[in-house]
Chains A and B, each alone.
Chain A
Amino acid sequence: MSTILTHIAISDGKIKRSSLEVLSHCTQLANDNGHQSEAVIIDANASQYVDDVKKYGVSKVYVIEDPIFKNHINTPLLKALTTVMEQADPYIFAFASTEGTKDILGALAANQDAAVLSDVSEFNLIDGGISAKRPVMAAKILSSNEAKADKILVSVRSGSYELAENETDGEVVNIDFSFNESELKATLREVIGASGDKIDLSEAEAIVAAGRGAKDEEGQKLINELAETLGAAIGASRALTEAGIMDPSLQIGQTGKVVSPQLYIAVGISGAIQHVAGMTNSKVIVAINKDPDAPIFDVADYGIVGDLYKVLPPFIEELKKIKG
């Protein structure tokens, strides 16, 4: 019997849904293969998330609570992760593929001499390791991969698995942890433009994404109004973040965030492969574009061919009526 450990990422005072997706899958794998599913929470207020994590079939929850984890800094996070790996001795350690994970996954693998597969869209146990699928070549193609080792790290794209609650009375293990400021190799000076009360893109149920076609003030106003009507998060194509019109943290695509909402509305986005790579896991895609040949229509469930300035006002009005 081996341990499959899942890292629970916390962002803006909430557990990331993508972490619970990974945990749901890991619990399933553990139950199907006679292993145990465990989780670890590393945060300034880690213990307050324990009850929610216990709903997902874990036999143990490790808790590392320290004020140093208020912001993401890689050195203390790596120390905490290596500490928990020594204690839990996981065969597989799974993560949601957040920016925080991307920052430390390679370093943790090198430190632990573990095999690692990043940003997979699915993984399963095989004899001696795991098999996994990864989108490659700007997510045009899937590669099949295997990792065989005594320790395996894997990070999973958001939206790859459904949540599956499975309440158990898991044991809570508080791990002693201390971090001396002198161990910090780098200094975090400040965090700019933290999202605050904005909806986190990678967690959003609905997203309105703006492209080059919506770059002027009138376009931005319509985007905001549409998002507000739907309670949606706002995203952007690279064209708008690069032009400085929208915040870089809102960029969706191969370079930016990978999203998987229930509803994705692409407004004035042509649909370059790099953008599509970040949003094809959305359940329903709506595209609004005046060019009938725009590649975004190839992936859209509902394509509206038309000038966004003429289409959005009646679209918003109708949605308001439906919302009542």
Chain B
Amino acid sequence: MKFYVCIKQVPDVNAPIQIKGEELIQDTNRMILNAYDASAVEEALVLTEKHGGEVEVVLIGPDKAKETIRKALAMGAQKATHIQTSGDENYDSSTYASILASFFKDKEYDVISCGKQSQDTDAGLTGSMLAELLNLPYATNAVGLEIEDNQLVVKRQGDTGQEMIALPSPCLVTCSNDMNEPRIPSLKGIMQSKRKPMEAVELSSLDVEEDNLAAKTTVTGYQEKPEREAGKKFEGEPDDIAAEVAQLLDTEANVI
């Protein structure tokens, strides 16, 4: 099967963040492969190693995002497409989906996969938008993937249980980070990644309609989240502090 995995470079949410004015400042400026996309890459590699096929990654982003593409190639993806942007654009989920839809218009594939959301914005929209634009059957929030009789069998986490869904190819799936532990590239993988093909595609060559390149939503600023105040900490004899807190939950917090 031919897998295209759409990946994104995102700021590391674990690095310290500051807000100056209403701007978001990350001192380290550390950019990484979105963790959910890493799981999508891993799963595509596992499935093609087992059943044959090819994994190609696609990334929309500026020049510095190449390091993230290299990471996916070092994990084992065979080739990559880099859709080049300046990185200063105000893109939202619908813009990314429109660009990808133009890219995939004349491509052949069995499965398009991506993370279920980006770990910086947590919007979780691009995957199903792209499926709709390409008129593909899709499933989101996959926690397990199998190939059976040329169908992709998706185990997805729903509201109350897990749903097993069989998708005919071509199809689209968005992946949770609960499905696997993405491999850490080996030294050999890193060396090989430098010789793997990475095709650069100019955004203008994709003929995305002007209307669709304009974001429909904007971020107007950032604020600190009103922090919860740490409350009382109880230390001492377990019997005493356990009973004391139980009493307080009843008499003070009124939640029993």
Contact = CB atoms under 8 A, between A and B. Distances in A.
Interface of A: 11-12, 71-75, 78, 98-100, 102-111, 114-119, 131, 133-149, 185-195, 200, 202, 206, 230, 238, 241-242, 248-249, 251, 254-255, 262-263, 273, 280, 283-286, 292, 297-307, 310-315, 318-319, 322-323
A254 B141 contact: no
A297 B255 contact: no
Interface size class of B (residues with CB under 8 A): 35 or more
B207 interface: no
A191 B163 contact: yes
B200 interface: no
Nearest to A11: B159
Nearest to B256: A322
A263 B21 CA distance: 35
Interface stretch (B58-66, B71-79, B191-199, B243-251): B243-251
A303 B120 contact: no
B253 A301 contact: yes
B224 A142 contact: yes
Given A105-B125, A141-B19, A319-B246, A99 B157 contact: yes
Contacts of B248: 302
B219 A141 contact: no
12 contacts: A11-B159, A106-B127, A110-B97, A116-B125, A119-B124, A139-B225, A140-B225, A144-B223, A149-B216, A193-B162, A306-B242, A322-B250
Contacts of B116: 102
Contacts of B201: none
Interface of B: 11, 13-14, 17, 19, 22, 24, 93-94, 97, 116, 119-133, 136-141, 143, 153, 155-168, 171, 176-178, 216-225, 228, 230-235, 238-239, 241-243, 245-250, 253, 255-256
Nearest to B220: A144
A144 B137 CA distance: 33
Nearest to B241: A304
Q: Is the interface of A mostly helix, strand, loop or mixed?
A: mixed
Nearest to B139: A186
A271 B159 CA distance: 24
